[in-house]
Structures are given as C-alpha cells and as structure tokens.
Structure 1
Amino acid sequence: MSDIKTVAVVGGGIGRSHIVEGYLTNKDKFKLLAICDLDPARMNGLADEFGIERRTAQFDDLLAMGDLDIIDICTPPMVHYPMVMAALAAGKHVVCEKPLVGSLAEVDAVIAAEKQARGRLMPVFQYRFGDGVQQAKAIIDAGIAGKPYVATVETLWRREADYYAVPWRGKWRTELGGVLMTHAIHQHDMLTYLMGPLKSLFGRVATRVNPIEVEDCVSASVELESGALASLTATLGAADEISRLRLVFENVTFESDHEAYSPGNKPWTILPRNDDTRAQIDALLEGWQHVPQRFETQMALFHAALVSGGPLPVTSADSRRALEIVTAFYHSSETHSEVTWPIGPDHPKYESWLPAGA
C-alpha cells in the first residue's frame, strides 16, 4: 500500500505557497489531486501550472472524493471553522491556515470533533521550522539554556492600501482581527513554542496606520507560567519589515533571524554565558541535520505523523494557545485590565472577541 497522500488545496492565495514549498518539495509523500477556488482564473492558472487535474469551485465536491486523503484549507478566516468541521466529518485529514478558527468556543468544538474523527487536523505555524528555531528548541529541551528570564517579540511589518484592496481584509466579520490574527500570531506562537505557555497579559490594541476596522498596532506585557516576563509589540506601519525574538535564559541568550517571513531560519544568534555552556551546545549540535524552513518541514512531518500515527508537528491545542493570546489582548485593551489564564467558557470573550455590532 502506497504511503503517498492525495491532497486538495482550497484557496489559491497562500495555497500556492503550500504547493510550491510544502508539496512539490515532498513529491515522494504527496500527490496534488484537486484545486478548489472561487476565482476561475486563479484556479485554472494554478491547476495548469502544477498539472492538477481536478478543478472545482464547490468545497462539497472535495468532501465526496473517496480517493482524497487531505483537504488543505487556505481560504479567508471566516470560513475556516465550517470547512474544518465538514472535512473532519467527511473523514478527511485537514491542514488549515491560521487563524484556525474565530473564537475559543470554536477551537474547543474543533478539538471535540477531532476526538471522534477518523482524520487528523494540523493547523499551520510554518515559522517553527528552520535550522535557527530548531537549534534553539533543541538547546532549551536539553536543559542547557536553564531558567527562562525575559523575552521580547517584535512583528514590525508594512501593509498599505493595496493590501486592503482585497475585500475581506481589514474587516472584523471576514478577517476576524488585524495584526494580532494575521501577522503577529506566528511570532507569538514561536514564543510559547520555545518558552512555554502564558500566565497573564496586559495589552493594548489600536488602529493607527490604515483606515480599517481592525487593529494594526499592539503592545503587551506578559508573564509566562515559568515566571519569565515578555513584551509583545506589533505594527503594520514600519518602514521596513522584520520579525525578531530575543529570548534570555539563565545560561543562553537567543536572537532570531530578522527576516520577516522566515524567522525560524538560520542564522540565529546563540550567546552562551560561559565556556562550559558553549561546550555543551557545541556537543549537542555536532552533526546537526539540516531542517528545511517553513512548509517543507511542516508538511514532511505531517506526512510522517499520518503514516506512523505519531504526534503532529502542530496541533489544535497549539492553535488554542495562540487564540488565547488574541482573546486576552482584545479583552485587556477593552477593559484596561490584566487577563489571567486559563481562558474558559466563563470568560466574556470565549464565544467571540468581535466588538459589539461588528
């Protein structure tokens, strides 16, 4: 029996990156079976470019394909939830772009549905993958870094009128949020991936750069479960674009590559506090096996998990942690109060963080 998994990509925007970086680089693991898009020109262009035979504008057509293993959802955020739930109900494996869904209530419903489903769900957090972030992860997991102290996380990007000319962007009901949901969510996931979950957050959001409904500037002070402190800052009004994490541990300070869209890649700055720590790091990383960045590694690990039944590289629980940060930001900014974890069904924004009347 072949281990090659068949894939349908839904949405040809970021979906093209999934194809180019994730599936074509793993041709021995995946076969592109179908493309689904509401724009006929984009759909046919992608299908012609990559030799994809099946083309449809109807998502339900994919659910009925008995020879389809994976549905990869790359649509605007407001339709993620119904598509994920329908795909799981149809017995498909699911890949879904961020944000996975639009509330903590929805992500909890997805987690419950997964437990009953034949297929498995992998949300997308491709910035976790690359030599830089994976070497930092290995050093931390080996106990070499020691106690986490502080961190700064910066998402300083640039978005202007042409970006918001796409009709669903910049609106609460369709994008479900602004820089928190669509841009900084990656870097905030990287923080929890490396330093662990949050305990509390005091944050502010503002719309200062573009004439849009949702926020494009944010800042927060957070405490992690470990006791470490961190600051989170993001804007879409920077002159240039960088993503930067600087993580200070007892024995090692890490700083990410500043490239905006692949901060997990090398080179990361790794600064040991002393020669003994440096020797431990050198020994750990000797013979390091290259970790390709972004979608290439995430999709390869997804395939391995499907074949072996082992753990997924990114889970719905990871998405829940990311969406807790989003929920806390909006509530804290609105109420001028600190939000503490966990955020459960009794929280005012559990069902939705959208402002009243949005």
Structure 2
Amino acid sequence: MYRAAIVGTGGIAAAHAQALTDHDRARLTAVVDLDENRARTFAGSWNVPTVAPGLTTLLETGDVDLVHVCTPPSTHAPLALQCLRAGVNVIVEKPPTLSLAELDTLAEASRASGAHLATVFQHRFGAGAARLRAMAAAGDLGRPLLATCETLWYRDAAYFEVPWRGKWETEGGGPTMGHGIHQFDLLLSVLGPWERVTAVAARRDRHVDTEDVSMALVTFADGTIASVVNSVISPRQVSALRFDYSHATVELSHLYGYTDADWTVTPAPGHAAVAERWAQSPSAVQSGHDGQFAAVFDALDSGTAPPVTIEETRRTMEFVAALYASAFTGTPVNAGDIGPDSPFATRMDGAGAPWRAVRIG
C-alpha cells in the first residue's frame, strides 16, 4: 500500500485523486498547496487525513512513498528535484520540465538518490494503444509507412488570463508543449525513435508570447514519415492519430481520452485477419491516469523505474525542443543535435520567438 501525496490541488489534481482512490494499492495520505483553504477543501472532498504546510515538511516526516506534482509547469522541476534529493519517488504532470536542461538535472538527482521520476503520459496506457504496439511488434500490421497526428483544440482568450499561461518563462511553450504533447508522445511510443524534424510554428490569433499553432514533418529511424499538428485555435476540436501500415490503417479519433469505440481498423486487401486480431481483446475502459498509475505501482513493486521513465520522457521532450529549434531557425533538426550548449537546451524558444516584438491585431 503506497502512501501518496498530491502537491497542487488545482484542476488536474482531481484526476490524480480519483485514480488513487480507485486503486487498492495506494492511499492518498496528504495534500500540499500554497492556498491552505483550497488544500483543506480538497482534502475534505477526498477524505485526505493530512494537509501539510509545505513539501519540505511533508518530506521530512518520511511518511510518503510517492509525490504527485500537479502544480503549474514552471514549478515542476524544483518540486521534483526536492523529492528526488529526499529519496522519494515522484510522478509529475506534463510538461515535466520547461527544458531539456532541467530534465537532465532531474536525471542526475535520480541517479544519485535512487528515487524515480515518472511523467504523466496517460494515453500510452489505454487498451487500444497497448494493442497497437503489441500487434505492430508481432508483425501483424506489416511495415509502418506513414502516420498523422493532430491535436486541434480551442482555447479562448479567457483561458490565457491565468497568469502563467502563454508565456515561455512559466509554461515553456504553447500547444506543442502543453497540449499536443499527449498525442505525439503516443505517436512516438508506437513508432519508436524519431530521426529528423522539419517544422513551423506561428502565433496566429491569441495574445500570448508562445505559439498558438505548430506543424512538423517527422522522419523516423526506420524510414516512416509523419506529420504532427498542434493547435489551440481550432473551433472543431479533435485529437486524431492515423497509422498506415502495409497491412492496415489504424485510426484513433477522440478528444481527451479514448476507449475501443474510438479506434477503427481498415485492413488492406488480403489482410482481413488484422481486424479479427484487433477485436480479440476488447476493452471498455477509458484511457486515463488509472492505467498509468497501475503500471507505476507494478514497477515500484518490482523495484524498477516506473513509466514513463526519464529516458522515455527525454525522447519526447527532445522532440519538442527540436520542433521549436527547426521552426525558429528555419532548418531541419536531427535527433541529438541539441547539445548542452544549444540555446534550445535551456529554453524551448532558444534565443527568442521571431514574433516576440510584434503585436497581434
């Protein structure tokens, strides 16, 4: 029975609390928030026995096995670093850090203390994604050829009135960093190592410092090519992925979470058995935090790093940095190009977005 604590009791914290409540392998024992009244209200709603005055005090008690960081993005790295240095495992919401450099600092702290960091990329753990990866690995789908990944969402002006949103210093980026990251992380988990990114990013309509739309062409190590689109200016919202294999097209269309009903499989001529194999293990469970937390507990039980590990997270975060680097420099970026001396290693906008001195409208 793992003793879990939540730091930050804003909107996403409820998803963590619900998932922890649904599991019989964890107990939510404490919450922390800068707003004590909000923390106490949250604790009362979820029957949490302890409202700690701060993370330092909570860690000093030694009464916690896993800390869930649900605070705004700019606080993720310092809070996670504090947990790791105290030898306490931590699971952090996306984006895990604002930069590759911050993530590398957390990796060093993890190696030094032996405590683990996991990033919440819950869409990897839905039944459909697991089935897709298994069938691809078994060769049932044939060779991967082409993929598309679209996160077309809509966030109005009121959404960006929250002080930390839409700013490189506090959010780390726009829809590439904070919205589309879920879908293209799932894409990367299916297709494996990416090799090259050619991208554009723009601020088309929102009064923000970051981009409000980005597009990328991606080449993978095995030659597969993909397009990735991230937007917060699209009134008809959808989260859509499509994978074209030599034996079938596999598609997912949802918004914030999926079930088997959101997937379709179209076999190529002569490969009808692909659809039959897909239908052999149906699931009615929606993708979400529950599935990932179960995998986290399994890993902790076995003494291994819980998913999504720092190494896996870094591949996704390097993709984000490469997309911005390509968009702002006008050149393709290969995996491994962004070294510690690159401005894109310490800030996702590098030396600054090209529109930083331009007003909208």
Q: Give distance in 2, aligned partners of 1:280 and 1:255.
A: 13
Is the 1:202–1:337 Cα contact (8 Å) retained in structure 2? yes
Aligned residues: 351
Q: Which amino acid aligns with 1:15?
A: A
Alignment of 1:83-98 (within 5 A): 83-98=79-94
Q: Give distance in 2, aligned partners of 1:280 and 1:254.
A: 10
Aligned match for 2:280, one of 283, 286, 295:
286
Is the 1:192–1:198 Cα contact (8 Å) retained in structure 2? yes
Q: Is 1:332 the counterpart of 2:326 in the alignment?
A: yes
Residue 67 of structure 1 deviates from its aligned partner by: 1.7
Alignment of 1:114-125 (within 5 A): 114-125=110-121
Q: Give distance in 1, aligned partners of 2:166 and 2:79.
A: 22
User: Which residue of 2 is the match for residue 273 of structure 1?
Assistant: 268
Aligned match for 2:183, one of 183, 187, 191:
187
Residue 201 of structure 1 deviates from its aligned partner by: 0.7
User: Which residue of 2 is the match for residue 15 of structure 1?
Assistant: 13
Alignment of 1:38-49 (within 5 A): 38-49=34-45
3-state SS in 2 of match to 1:170: coil
Q: Give distance in 1, aligned partners of 2:80 and 2:90.
A: 7
Q: Give distance in 2, aligned partners of 1:289 and 1:303.
A: 21
User: Which residue of 2 is the match for residue 214 of structure 1?
Assistant: 210
3-state SS in 2 of match to 1:45: helix
User: Which residue of 2 is the match for residue 317 of structure 1?
Assistant: 311
Q: Give distance in 2, aligned partners of 1:74 and 1:250.
A: 41
3-state SS in 2 of match to 1:64: helix
User: Which residue of 1 is the match for residue 359 of structure 2?
Assistant: none
Is the 1:132–1:266 Cα contact (8 Å) retained in structure 2? no
Going from structure 1 to structure 2, the CA distance change for 1:287 and 1:325 (only over 3 Å counts) comes to closer
Aligned match for 1:352, one of 338, 347, 353:
347
Residue 307 of structure 1 deviates from its aligned partner by: 0.9
Is the 2:143–2:245 Cα contact (8 Å) retained in structure 1? yes
Going from structure 1 to structure 2, the CA distance change for 1:128 and 1:287 (only over 3 Å counts) comes to closer
Alignment of 1:27-106 (within 5 A): 28-106=24-102
Alignment of 1:96-175 (within 5 A): 96-175=92-171
3-state SS in 2 of match to 1:128: helix
What is the identity percentage for the equivalent residue pairs of Structure 1 and Structure 2?
36
Residue 53 of structure 1 deviates from its aligned partner by: 1.5
Residue 116 of structure 1 deviates from its aligned partner by: 2.3
Deviations 1:286-343 (A, max 9, x none): 3556655210110011111111224533111121111111111211111111111123
User: Which residue of 2 is the match for residue 303 of structure 1?
Assistant: 297
- State the Cα RMSD in Å: 1.9
Deviations 1:143-197 (A, max 9, x none): 2122211111100001012211211111111111111111001111011101112
TM-score scaled by length of structure 2: 0.92
3-state SS in 2 of match to 1:138: helix
Alignment of 1:204-283 (within 5 A): 204-256=200-252, 258-263=253-258, 266-275=261-270, 277-279=271-273, 282-283=276-277
Q: Which amino acid aligns with 1:270?
A: V
Residue 204 of structure 1 deviates from its aligned partner by: 0.9
Q: Which amino acid aligns with 2:211?
A: E
Q: Which amino acid aligns with 1:317?
A: E
3-state SS in 1 of match to 2:27: strand
Where structure 1 has 5 or more consecutive residues not aligned to the other structure, the ranges are none
Q: Give distance in 2, aligned partners of 1:148 and 1:78.
A: 37
Deviations 1:106-162 (A, max 9, x none): 222222222222322111101112222222122112121222111111000010122
Is the 1:219–1:234 Cα contact (8 Å) retained in structure 2? yes
Q: Give distance in 2, aligned partners of 1:287 and 1:187.
A: 23
Q: Give distance in 1, aligned partners of 2:313 and 2:178.
A: 13
Q: Give distance in 1, aligned partners of 2:198 and 2:53.
A: 43
Q: Give distance in 2, aligned partners of 1:147 and 1:111.
A: 34
Q: Give distance in 2, aligned partners of 1:272 and 1:210.
A: 41
3-state SS in 2 of match to 1:350: helix
- Which structure has more relative contact order (CA 8 Å, sep 6+)? It is 1
